[in-house]
Structure 1
C-alpha cells in the first residue's frame, strides 16, 4: 500500500479497512526536495530584500512597510490555495499542480526583483514572489499530512525541515559565493550590486529544478483512498477529526463582523485624521475585509444559501479544533520574532555593530555579508538539527521539546544585541535550533487533529497566524522604533526574543495527547 515512485497512483483499499501504511524513506525524501528550492527563494528574499529596498532609497523606519507585501499576499493566498487544492483532483494529482505553478511564477519574480529600476517595482516584485511561493508552500504542508500516517508525520515534517535548512543555507550564501566568483558586492547609488543579481538568478534556476523533481518523483493518494484510511483509524484524535463541527449561528458571525468593522474603521480614522502611521492603514483594511466577510457569511446562513469557497472558509475559521486555536497563539509569537529578524537584522547589524547606515559604504557591504552569514549558519544548523527532532521528541515529548526550543531561540535573538560580531555564530546556532522546530513541530501537532478532506484548507487558515504577526510587525514596529526605541534598530530584536519566549508559556495550554500507536506495519 505504499505510494509508488512510478506513474501509478495508489488505489483505494478494498475489503477490510486498513490504516495508512508506512512509506519508504526515499518516498518521504522525494516529497520534501521541492522545499529546498522554495526555501532558497525565501532565504534570498529574507536576507536581501531590506538591502535592495535600502539601495533603492527606502528609509529604515519604512522598511517594514515594503515588507508588508508578503504577509498581505499570504493572508489572501494561503487559505484560498489550501481550499482549492482540497477540491482538486487531476491526472497530475491533488497538490502537485500547485507546486509547479508556484515555482514557475516564483522563478520569474526572483529574476526580476534585483533588476527593478525603482523602489515601488522592487516592492511589487516581492509581492509577486511571496504570492508565488505561497501557491507552492501550503500544498506542500498538506502533502505530508495527506501521505504520511501519524507515526511518520514528525519524520516527514523533519525531513521537510532538513531541506528547508539546506535551501536556507544555500540561498543565504549565494551572494557571498557570487562575490567570490568575481561579481561586485558594491555599486553606485540606487543600483543593486551584481553579486545580488547573480545570486537571485542562480536561486531561480535551483528553485524550479527542485520543485520539478518532487512533482516528477512523488505521487498522491486519491481522495477516496484518504477517506478510507481515515475511517480505519480508531485513535482518539481520529474520532475527533471525524466529528462534524457545529457551525455557529448567523448571529455569531454578524456580531463579530460588526466588531471587526468598528475596529477597522476606527483605525482608518486614526490614520486619516489622527497621528497614526500610514502603514497602520494596511492592517486596518485587512480588519475591515474580515468584518465584511463575516457579515457576508451571516447573511448567507440566514438565507440558507450554498457555502461556496468564501462561506466554507468562514465556517472552517469558526470551527477550528481547540488544539489549532491554542497552537495558533504559539505560532503567532514565533513568526512575530522571525519577521522582525528578517526586516531589521541587516539594519541592526550594520548600524549597531558596523556604525553605518550608508548602503554605498564598504562597511555596509561587510555588515550585510555578516548578516548573510547569520542566515546561512542558522539555516545550516536547522538543516542538521531537523533530523534530531524525531529523536528528541520521542525522549521528552513534542510539547516540552518545542517549548525548550522557543526559550533557546528567544535568548539567541537577544544575544545579537549583546554579542560582538565574532560571536554571531553562537546566536545563529540557537536561532537555527528554534527555526528547525517551528518548521516541524507545529505541523506535526496540528496534522493529527485535522480531517483529510480539509487538510489543505485548515493548513492555509493556520498560516493566518504566520501572516498576522507579520502584519502587526509591519504596521507598528516602525512607530515603536522611532517613538520608543530611539531609532536603535537592534532593540527590535530584543522585543522579538521576549515575544518568542512567551510562546513557551502558551504551549502549556495546547491540548495534545499523542494518538495510540495503531499504525499498520505494512509497506
Structure 2
C-alpha cells in the first residue's frame, strides 16, 4: 500500500527539526573553536587540518551504516529514527563537555573524533525524518525549516565564548590551557544539544513502515553484518545519476567549508589582527571576534532560510538555480576576506558566506529526496554524506595546504581565497543537474 503523507504545518515541522538546534551547537562550537583549542595546545597552523581528520574518516563509515540501520529499525513506541537521535545525543553531549578540558593534542583530537561521530549518529536520521514525514511538495520547505534552526544554532553557539567574556568569564589562561570562556561555552552547548534532541523525540511521532509484513521479511532476509555491508556497497555502485552530480557539487562545497573551519581562526587572527601568541590577550580577543564573525554566517543563513521558507511554502522554486546562485555569492564572500582592511567588514564577508551555508543545508537534500526510493531514504542520505566527508579527508591529508600554497602562495590568509574559488566551482557544477523532477519542487 502507498502511505498518504499529510501536509504538516510550520510548528509540526519545527518540532520534528528542533533537535538540529543542539546538533548545530555542537558543529558550530567544533567548527569555530577546535582549531583554537589545537593552537592553544601547541599545534602548528599547517598541522591543524590533519588533527581534524579523524572526524570525517569516522563519518565515512558511520553515516551509511547508521542510515542503513535506521531504515531497518521500527518500534511501536520508540519509532525508527528516534533511537538513533537519543544514542547520538548522549555521546555527543559527553564529548562536547569534555573537549576544552583536553591537556594534550591527542586528547583534543580524540574528543573531536568522538564528538563528530556521535553527532553524525543523530544527524543522518534527522535528514531522513524529513523525507519520512513530508510529502514531496513540502520537502524543500522541510529542509529549509531545518536550515532556519541550524542558522539560529550557528549564530548563538559561535558567539558563546564572546558572550562569556562579556559576562566576566576569563578569556585568557596560562600557556597550554584553554580559557574558561571556551569551557563555559562548550558546557552550555552540551546542555542545549541534549535537551533540544530530547524535545524532538518527545514531540514527534513517526510513520510505521508502509507494509509491515514486507518490512519484516526484508529485514530477516538481509540480517547480519555481511548482508548489510553488501547492500551498502551495492547501493553505492548503483546510486542514481542525480546523486552523482549532486556529489560533485557537495565535494567542492564541503572542501571549501572545511578549509574555513580549520583555517579561519589562524588566518584572520594573523592577517587582520596581527596576533599569533596563543596565550596573549590580543590573540584570545581576536579568536573571540572570529567566533563572532562566524556567528554572522549563521545569522544570515537563518534570515535567508526564513525567506526561502516563506517562498517555498507558497510557490515552486528552482532548486538548482537557487543553489547555484547561493554558492557563487558565498564564494565571493570568502574571497573578499583577503581584500578587506577593517575587521568590521568581515561581517559583510561572512553574511555572503551565510547565504551559501543556508542553501548547502537544504537544497541538495531536497533534490536528493526527490530522486531515491523512500524505503531506502536513510541509507541514501548516509551514502550521500560520503560526498561531505571525502573532500574533508582529502583536505585534511594535505589537500588544503598543497592547493593554497601552489595556487595563491604561502600566507595563511590565502586559504580563504582557495575556499572562495572552490565554492564558486561548486556553484557552476549545479548546471550538470537537468532532471526537472529534481530541480523543481
Specify the TM-score bucket, using the shorter chain as the normaliser: over 0.9
Residue 79 of structure 1 is aligned with which of 26, 47, 64? 64
Q: Does 1:166 align with 2:159?
A: no
Q: Cα 1:318–1:419, aligned 2, differ >3 Å: closer, same or farther?
A: same
Residue 194 of structure 1 is aligned with which of 180, 190, 207? 180
Q: Cα 1:177–1:512, aligned 2, differ >3 Å: closer, same or farther?
A: same
Indicate conservation of the 8 Å contact 1:61/1:481, yes or no. Answer: no
Q: Deviations over 1:313-346 (max 9, x none)?
A: 1000001011111111001111111110000000
Tell me how far apart the structure 2 counterparts of residues 46 and 81 of structure 1 sit (CA, whole Å): 23
Residue 70 of structure 1 is aligned with which of 52, 55, 58? 55
1:198-213 correspondence runs (5 A): 198-213=184-199
1:489 Cα shift? 1.0
Tell me how far apart the structure 2 counterparts of residues 227 and 398 of structure 1 sit (CA, whole Å): 36
Tell me how far apart the structure 2 counterparts of residues 491 and 124 of structure 1 sit (CA, whole Å): 28
Corresponding residue for 2:349?
427
Q: Cα 1:306–1:77, aligned 2, differ >3 Å: closer, same or farther?
A: closer
User: Aligned-pair RMSD on alpha carbons?
Assistant: 2.1
1:59 Cα shift? 0.5
1:45 Cα shift? 0.5
Q: Deviations over 1:452-495 (max 9, x none)?
A: 11100100000001001111111122344566655311101101
1:392 Cα shift? 5.1
Deviates more, 1:502-511 or 1:101-110: 502-511
Tell me how far apart the structure 2 counterparts of residues 32 and 479 of structure 1 sit (CA, whole Å): 38
1:18 Cα shift? 5.8
Q: Does 1:471 align with 2:390?
A: no
Corresponding residue for 1:95?
81
Structure 1 gaps, min length 5 = 1-12, 229-304
Corresponding residue for 2:227?
308
Q: Deviations over 1:419-470 (max 9, x none)?
A: 1312111011101111001100000101011111110010000000100111
Q: Deviations over 1:162-192 (max 9, x none)?
A: 1100111111011111112221111110000
Q: Deviations over 1:358-404 (max 9, x none)?
A: 10122211221221111111101111211212455647511111111
Tell me how far apart the structure 1 counterparts of residues 369 and 3 of structure 2 sit (CA, whole Å): 19
Residue 287 of structure 2 is aligned with which of 368, 390, 400? 368
1:511 Cα shift? 2.8
Q: Cα 1:516–1:173, aligned 2, differ >3 Å: closer, same or farther?
A: closer
Q: Cα 1:443–1:515, aligned 2, differ >3 Å: closer, same or farther?
A: closer
Corresponding residue for 1:498?
421
Tell me how far apart the structure 1 counterparts of residues 212 and 324 of structure 2 sit (CA, whole Å): 32
Larger radius of gyration: 1
Indicate conservation of the 8 Å contact 1:37/1:210, yes or no. Answer: yes
TM-score by length of 1: 0.78
Indicate conservation of the 8 Å contact 1:34/1:213, yes or no. Answer: yes
Corresponding residue for 1:40?
25
TM-score by length of 2: 0.93
1:73 Cα shift? 1.2
Pairs aligned (count): 427
Corresponding residue for 2:219?
none
